[in-house]
Amino acid sequence: MHIHILGICGTFMGGIAAIARQSGHKVTGCDTNVYPPMSTQLESQNIKLIEGYSTQQTQLQPDIYVIGNVVTRGNPLMEEILNRNLPYISGPQWLTEHILNDKWVLAVAGTHGKTTTSSMLAWILEYAGFGPGFLIGGVPENFGTSARLGNITPTKSYSKNPDANVREPSPFFVIEADEYDTAFFDKRSKFLHYHPRTAILNNLEFDHADIFPDLTAIERQFHHLIRTIPSNGLIVSNGRDENLLRVITQGCWTPVEIFGTNDGWQTEMHTADNKTDIYFKDELQGILQWGLLGEHNRMNALAALSAARHVGIPAKTGIAALEQFRNVKRRMEIKGIVSNITVYDDFAHHPTSINTTLRGLRSKVNKANIIAVLEPCSNTMRMGVWKHNLAESLTVADKIFCYTNHSDWDTQAALQSLGEKVTCLDDLAQLIQAISGATQPGSQVLIMSNGCFGNIHEKLLKELSARYGEDISIG
């Protein structure tokens, strides 16, 4: 089959492209953002990329067009497809019909932590020899890619192939289950297409104000997801989240395993040596020692351990795997160090994730100077939905810089309760100068954005290197 993907350079659609190519399909695609690293990643897999959405692309005559949710009515290629009645399908639906239909799907849903938890779960399955396929909205450093079809050397009991040297497709597939809409012609959440047998519900808050009018609308989509999970499956749910509890009580036909409370999976932190006891229903499962920060990551780990146990991986094996987990790019990723000043890149763009990330960093660095740098560029942030919550989420930082180039609301006014700690600028060069001037040896500079932020990390590190007369080292 030849598929042509519209919006191919997004993480999700690029992942579909890679998996389709690994499955033997011919893949081409187009986008307006054809540049590295996604462009080079796709081209390395012999996937032809076209800049823009010209109508001439119909001359490729693919068997079907796969439409990303960045594509809207008025897009010239999409209009040509509609006018000529050419076959098209959404990315999630194509993935389900051609890849997931015979898989044991493990889906990770929630407002926060989807990428990290999906990466943890995929790594646990990999460590245990299950060779899972996966599609994740980030790049897990243990794998170096955001998506793969997955295969195993058939030495496990679920394999029917007696030849241990022959690799075959893995029956397991881990997917980051996003609640964002599917396509302009299918406004359901993406995760409704995946039909998981194992589903993690990490947490639930209001987000995506460009898609959902209120929290109730998101809860409805989550309950639709619950309705698709079979009775021989498993729901792994955050027992501390009242919104999720409310969704489950609307009706649930699947066993539920809770994490974060004493009647399910729970942790007990040893502050002195950074070790964590892992319990399931008050029974010690093992002791985890790793480098990840924060209570939110311990919760992510519990969810991954529970889901992995559902496919037959003992908690002891899962804990051993997590000790070798290397996190995900753009999740507290150290971009460089100059004169003992550490610059981090993090994807946080919601007040809750901003707060938990800062608290995790504070627990690591104690009284060291934390400089928070925020680019509020998500659609919800641009709309000002979180402007009344933003100041409180940043209180842990000693100094706060906000890039206001994307904001349609008065950022300075929203953050005025933080007083002189806050600097708001709409010029990137001035922002970098100001951040550099606020540093001192030992400062921790946490840059938070779900966009590219004008390559600020590299520019800031070069500025710090010139200011302090030292080379840049990588953590």
Strands 147-148 and 133-135 come out as: antiparallel
Q: Is the pLDDT of residue 159 over 60?
A: no
C-alpha closest to that of 372 among 391, 386, 387? 391
Residues 66 and 215 both lie in one domain: no
Of the candidate ranges 209-223, 251-265, 367-381, 433-447, the one whose mean pLDDT is the lowest: 367-381
Single out the residue in 290, 322, 354 at which a domain terminates.
Answer: 322
Residues 28 and 70 both lie in one domain: yes
Residues 61 and 130 both lie in one domain: no
Query: Does 327 map to a domain?
Result: no
Query: What kind and span of H or E run contains 242?
Result: helix 242-249
Query: Does 388 map to a domain?
Result: yes
pLDDT value of position 153 = 53
DSSP string, 154-192: S-STT-----TT--EE-SEEEEE---SEEETTEEEEGGG
Rounded CA separation 285/320 (Å): 11
Rounded CA separation 240/261 (Å): 7
Q: What is the pTM of this model?
A: 0.79
Instruction: Name, in order, each residue with C-beta under 8 angstroms of 367's C-beta and a sequence gap of 6 or more.
Output: none
Q: Is the dihedral of CA 466, 469, 474, 475 positive or negative?
A: negative
Cα angle 141, 143, 148 (rounded to 5 degrees) comes to 135
Single out the residue in 300, 322, 344 at which a domain terminates.
Answer: 322
The answer to whether 167 and 356 are in contact (CB under 8 A) is: no
Residues 443 and 426 both lie in one domain: yes
Q: What is the mean pLDDT of residues 139-150?
A: 88
Number of domains in the chain: 3
Q: Is the dihedral of CA 208, 211, 217, 223 positive or negative?
A: negative
Query: Does 328 map to a domain?
Result: no
Instruction: Name, in order, each residue with C-beta under 8 angstroms of 85's C-beta and a sequence gap of 6 or more.
Output: none
pLDDT tier at 35, thresholds 50, 70, 90? low
Residues 313 and 183 both lie in one domain: yes
pLDDT tier at 386, thresholds 50, 70, 90? low
Residues 165 and 69 both lie in one domain: no
Query: Does 111 map to a domain?
Result: yes
Residues 355 and 415 both lie in one domain: yes
Residues 233 and 354 both lie in one domain: no
Residues 109 and 178 both lie in one domain: yes
Single out the residue in 322, 349, 372 at which a domain terminates.
Answer: 322
In CATH, what number is assigned to the domain containing residue 36? 3.40.50.720
Q: HSE on the CB side for 353, CA within 13 Å? A: 29
Neighbours of 230 (CB within 10 A): 11
Rounded CA separation 392/24 (Å): 50
pLDDT tier at 166, thresholds 50, 70, 90? low
Query: Does 474 map to a domain?
Result: no
Name the DSSP class of 229.
S
Q: What is the pLDDT of residues 36-89, one digit of tens each?
A: 667 777 888 889 999 999 999 999 999 999 999 999 999 999 999 999 999 999
Dihedral angle over CA of 30, 36, 41, 44, nearest 10:
90
Task: Kindly state the percentage of the chain with pLDDT values over 70.
Answer: 92
Residues 337 and 289 both lie in one domain: no
Query: Does 475 map to a domain?
Result: no
Q: Is the pLDDT of residue 162 over 60?
A: no
In CATH, what number is assigned to the domain containing residue 107? 3.40.1190.10
Query: Does 287 map to a domain?
Result: yes
Neighbours of 314 (CB within 10 A): 14
pLDDT value of position 228 = 96
- The burial class, CB within 10 Å (0-12 / 13-18 / 19+), for 318 is buried
DSSP string, 412-463: HHHTGGGGGGEEEES-HHHHHHHHHHH--TT-EEEEE-SS-GGGHHHHHHHH
Query: Does 281 map to a domain?
Result: yes
pLDDT tier at 475, thresholds 50, 70, 90? low
In CATH, what number is assigned to the domain containing residue 416? 3.90.190.20
Q: Is the dihedral of CA 134, 137, 139, 140 positive or negative?
A: negative
C-alpha closest to that of 291 among 276, 277, 306, 308? 276
Q: Is the pLDDT of residue 317 over 90?
A: yes
Residues 162 and 290 both lie in one domain: yes
Residues 88 and 135 both lie in one domain: no
Q: What is the pLDDT of residues 70-84, one digit of tens each?
A: 999 999 999 999 999
Beta strands in 98-233 (DSSP E): 104-109, 133-135, 147-148, 151-152, 168-169, 172-176, 181-183, 186-189, 198-201
pLDDT value of position 163 = 47
Owning domain of residue 75:
2-94
Strand partners, 3: 27, 64
pLDDT averaged over every residue in the chain = 88
